[in-house]
Chains A and B, each alone.
Chain A
C-alpha cells in the first residue's frame, strides 16, 4: 500500500509568514492576535483577530494576479509556492497528470465579493468585475494553484468549516493511494476580515468578545478568528524517493472524518470515532501517540467534549495535548493544515509547543495540556484534530518517516 509523505510546507500565518518564522513564533510564544487593522472595528462586538500583518501581495505574486484575487487566494498562492519550493518540486520535470490540487476553503473570496456586492448595489450591474465569477467561489484556490504551477491531476475543493483542511489532506492521501496522482498540493486558506465578513464570523456565536482565546481554560469564552494559509506537498513516498527527495517531514499515516448526530440526539458525538478510525488506518495504538494537537474550540462545552473524547481514547492525562492556535486564532480551513505543519516540526525538533494564554484547566477535563513553555520530548507520532461548525470531525495521524 502506498505510503504518503509530506515533502514541502508553506505557511502564511498571523504570527509568521514562512514556515520557520511561524515555528519560531510558536515556540517562543509570539502571538499574531491583536486589534484589527484591516478596517475600523471599534463599532463591532469583537475587535481582535489573528491578522496577517504586513503582507505585501506584490512581493509574492505576479502583478497580473492581483486584480483577480481575494486576499485568501493570495495567501493560498503564496503558501503553495513556498511549499513547492520547500519540497524542491519542479512541476515541469514531472508528469502533469500526476500532480493534483486538493484544498479546503470555508469562506470563499469573501472580501472580494463584498466589494462586488457593494458595487452592484450602489452603482449597478455593469460595475461588477469579470473576476467576480471565480474570485469568490470556493474552488478558486485549487484552480489558481493548478494554473500557476501547471498541475493537471485530480482537483478538488472541500468546505467543512474548520474541519475541511484536514479532510483535504485525507482526500489527497486517498488520491495518492488510488494511484490517481503521485503528488498533491493540499491544505487550506481563508480570510474574511472585511466588515461584513467580520460581522458574519461573529454571528456564528463562538467568537470571544474579549479577544482572548484560551483553549481548555476554565474561563474560556470563545475563540479569536484568524486568517492565513497552510499548504503542503503530500507525495507518494516511492515517487518522492524517485525524484531524489532528501528531506521528508513525516508521513500522513491515517485520516478519518465523521459527523455528529443532530442536536438533541441521545447518540454520542462522533469525534472519538474519528480518532479511532484515523489511528486504525495508521495501524497505531493509542499508547504510541506522543502528542495531540487539539481542535481547541475555546468554549467550555466544546472543550469538555474534546477532552472527554481524548480521555476515552488515551485515558486521563494519557497524552500531552497542545493548541498552538491560541497564538494565531482559528484559521478555518487553514487551521487543521497549520496544526499538521506544527506537528511535523514538533516531530522534527523533538519539542511540543505550548498552549498560550491558558492558565487553569479544569481537573475534570483530565488532559495534560502543555502550557507556558515548550516541552522537549522524543516524538514519533502526533494526532491532529479539527472540528467544523455543524458537526464535522476530522482526525489525522502523522508520524516520522524512516526511509
Chain B
C-alpha cells in the first residue's frame, strides 16, 4: 500500500494495478501507452471499475468515470494528491 502523502503514481504503478485487476496479455502494456485509450488496450468499463477501486484504496483518490487514457488517469490521481513534503 502506497503512502498517499509522499507518493505520486507512475505509469509502472498503473501497469501493475491494471495487470492485477484486469489481467494483461504479454507486451500489451509495454511501450508508450500514455495516450492510448483504455478501450484500445482492451480494458472495458468493468476492468476500469476494478482498477479505479484499487487505486482509490491505495491512493485515496476517486477516479472520475470519464478518464479515457493512462495519461488522463495519472493526471487525475496525481492532481488530487497532496503535494509531497
Instruction: Determine if B22 and A67 form an interchain contact, defined as CB atoms under 8 angstroms apart.
Output: yes
Partner of A63 from B23, B50, B56, B57 at Cβ < 8 Å: B23
Per the CB 8 Å criterion, the residue count for chain A at the interface is 12
Instruction: Determine if A131 and B56 form an interchain contact, defined as CB atoms under 8 angstroms apart.
Output: no
B window 42-63: CB within 8 A of A? 42, 46-47, 49-50, 53, 56-57
Task: Give the shortest distance, in Å, between B21 (CB) and chain A (any CB).
Answer: 6
* Range class of the B interface residue count: 10 to 19
- How many A-B contacts at CB < 8 Å in the complex? 33
Instruction: Determine if A67 and B23 form an interchain contact, defined as CB atoms under 8 angstroms apart.
Output: yes
Instruction: Determine if A131 and B42 form an interchain contact, defined as CB atoms under 8 angstroms apart.
Output: no
Instruction: Determine if B20 and A67 form an interchain contact, defined as CB atoms under 8 angstroms apart.
Output: yes
Partner of B49 from A64, A66, A130 at Cβ < 8 Å: A130
Instruction: Determine if A64 and B50 form an interchain contact, defined as CB atoms under 8 angstroms apart.
Output: no
A122 at the interface (CB under 8 A from B): no
CA distance A47 to B50 in the complex (A): 35
Instruction: Determine if A66 and B53 form an interchain contact, defined as CB atoms under 8 angstroms apart.
Output: no
A36 at the interface (CB under 8 A from B): no
B window 32-85: CB within 8 A of A? 42, 46-47, 49-50, 53, 56-57
A65 at the interface (CB under 8 A from B): yes
Contact with B along A59-76 (1 / 0, CB 8 A): 000111111100000000
Q: Can you report 7 residue pairs joining A to B where beta carbons are below 8 Å apart? A: A62-B23, A62-B25, A67-B21, A67-B23, A68-B22, A127-B57, A131-B46
Interface residues of B, Cβ cutoff 8 Å to A: 20-26, 42, 46-47, 49-50, 53, 56-57
Interface residues of A, Cβ cutoff 8 Å to B: 62-68, 126-127, 129-131
In the complex, the 10 A-B pairs of residues with the closest C-beta atoms, listed nearest first? A64-B23, A63-B23, A130-B50, A130-B49, A66-B23, A67-B23, A63-B25, A130-B46, A67-B22, A63-B24
Known: A62-B25, A67-B21. 17 other contacts (CB 8 A): A63-B23, A63-B24, A64-B24, A64-B42, A65-B23, A66-B23, A67-B22, A67-B23, A68-B22, A68-B46, A126-B53, A126-B57, A127-B57, A129-B50, A129-B53, A131-B46, A131-B50
